[in-house]
Amino acid sequence: MTKLFALFGNQKEAETAVNALNEADLGRTSIRVLSQFNNELQGPLQLMPISHPTAGVTGAVGPRSRVDLTEDGLDGDIAGFFKRSLQKGAVLVAATLHDNAYKDRAESIFENLNAVAVASLDSD
């Protein structure tokens, strides 16, 4: 299993990335989109849904929910960078690929769509 995280400048770019991942037929893949929900600089981060008929995209969580990216296994410095970027309006696409064979293709999609930053975690 591989977890990929790609940071985009806005919601539209993130939606384009999610659509590209879904069209790429990457096997069993779960996708989450993380964005700042309100205008408070220190406000909570939320899962924001993007609808797709066949995607495994998670729905929104409660309005005051906090997302801790270190729970996903990200290093504290990387998680901090992503969180600060989200607080400034960026959007994070997190994809869990259940087959590592699709990792290069998914990373290529993110890079071709001009992701600001991409991080990955591999596990057995």
Domain of residue 72 covers 2-122
pLDDT tens digits for range 15-65: 999 999 989 988 888 888 888 753 333 444 444 444 444 444 443 333 334
Distance CA 20, CA 25 (A): 9
Residue 60 phi/psi, 5° resolution? -75, 150
Count up the domains in the chain and report the number.
1
Long-range CB contacts (within 8 A, 24+) of 39-44: 41/87, 42/87, 43/87
Instruction: Judge whether residue 113 has pLDDT over 70.
Output: yes
**pLDDT score recorded for residue 36:** 75
Quote the percentage of the chain above a pLDDT of 90.
Answer: 33
| Nearest residue to 48 (alpha-carbon basis) of 110, 107, 90, 106 | 90
pTM of the complete model: 0.76
- The one-letter code for the residue type at 115 is A
